[in-house]
């Protein structure tokens, strides 16, 4: 597990340390007032994500607005971004934390973690891993675009980066990198599309890859983008 993180995510930091450092930076350098800062996330629906960083422990409004869906894609779209903007306290600020996640188990198996209360490990990110596995399975059926809309978008994205993914020694790492790029790009497009709604507020974008591990270990976050708009 440690070797995998060191090799593929050399900049990763333990989630709680990472959170403390960036909260301090927002307060000291960017003059964020934590009593009037609202948070939004665009991270996977998977409950395992919630423990990776602990921003909510520092904020007066501890419940985040959820902009994302499976794999961390900001499926809430422009409507979600505008709604989030309209909920920011007067003269307040916002934090948007976004990115995909990847699991690694204690023994270094990638895309698999143990979960509390289960004797068998399961996949993580399940949606991304299933899409990557589907690339090499000729009998794999595509997700239903109605009943499984989010998964169908993920499959499309993974197919679009197929060459890079299959050429990588750990395909899920390449798929997670591509997914980060896709999410980061969409977050910026959506912020641009909703910029009038955010006009009176400072917004910190914190993007990166979440690395989930077995329950007895801490989770990690590798920062890929930080900016204050």
Give residues in contact with Zn ion (CB under 5 A). Answer: 44, 46, 125
* Closer residue to Zn ion in complex, CB, 94/187: 187
Question: What phi and psi values does residue 3 have, to the nearest 5 degrees?
Answer: -60, -45
* Closer residue to Zn ion in complex, CB, 47/146: 47
**Beta strand 65-66 with 13-14: parallel, antiparallel or unpaired?**
unpaired
Give bridge partners of residue 113 from the DSSP assignment: 122
CB of 126 to Zn ion, least distance (A): 6
If you write DSSP's letter for every residue of 49-110 in order, what string do you get? Answer: GGGT--GGGG-SS-SPEE---GGG--TTHHHHHHHHHHTSPTT-EEEEEE--EEEB-TT--B
Number of CB atoms found within 10 A of residue 144's CB: 10
Q: What is the DSSP letter of 2?
A: H
CB of 199 to Zn ion, least distance (A): 33
CB of 46 to Zn ion, least distance (A): 4
3-state DSSP assignment of residue 208: strand
CB of 125 to Zn ion, least distance (A): 3
* Closer residue to Zn ion in complex, CB, 46/219: 46
Rg of the chain taking only CA atoms, in angstroms:
18
* Closer residue to Zn ion in complex, CB, 116/167: 116
* Closer residue to Zn ion in complex, CB, 26/125: 125
CB of 171 to Zn ion, least distance (A): 16
CB of 100 to Zn ion, least distance (A): 7
Q: How far apart are CA 217 and CA 31, in angstroms?
A: 33
* Closer residue to Zn ion in complex, CB, 125/174: 125
Q: How far apart are CA 93 and CA 12, in angstroms?
A: 26
For the four alpha carbons of 57, 60, 63 and 67, in that order, the dihedral sign comes to negative
């Amino acid at each position: 597990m440690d070797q995998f993180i060191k090799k593929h995510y050399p900049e990763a930091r333990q989630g709680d340390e990472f959170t403390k450092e960036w909260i301090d930076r927002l307060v000291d350098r960017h003059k964020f007032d934590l009593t009037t800062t609202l948070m939004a996330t665009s991270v996977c629906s998977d409950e395992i994500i919630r423990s990776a960083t602990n921003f909510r422990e520092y904020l007066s409004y501890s419940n985040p607005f959820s902009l994302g869906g499976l794999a961390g894609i900001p499926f809430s779209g422009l409507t979600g971004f505008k709604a989030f903007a309209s909920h920011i306290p007067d003269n307040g600020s916002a934090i948007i934390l976004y990115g995909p996640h990847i699991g690694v188990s204690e023994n270094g198996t990638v895309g698999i973690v143990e979960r509390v209360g289960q004797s068998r490990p399961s996949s993580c990110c399940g949606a991304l891993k299933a899409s990557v596995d589907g690339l090499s399975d000729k009998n794999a059926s595509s997700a239903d675009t109605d009943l499984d809309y989010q998964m169908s978008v993920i499959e499309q994205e993974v197919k679009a980066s197929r060459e890079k993914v299959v050429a990588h020694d750990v395909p899920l790492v390449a798929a997670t990198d591509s997914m980060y790029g896709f999410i980061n790009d969409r977050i910026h497009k959506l912020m641009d599309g909703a910029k009038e709604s955010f006009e009176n507020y400072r917004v910190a974008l914190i993007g990166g890859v979440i690395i989930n591990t077995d329950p007895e270990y801490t989770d990690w976050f590798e920062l890929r983008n930080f900016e204050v708009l």
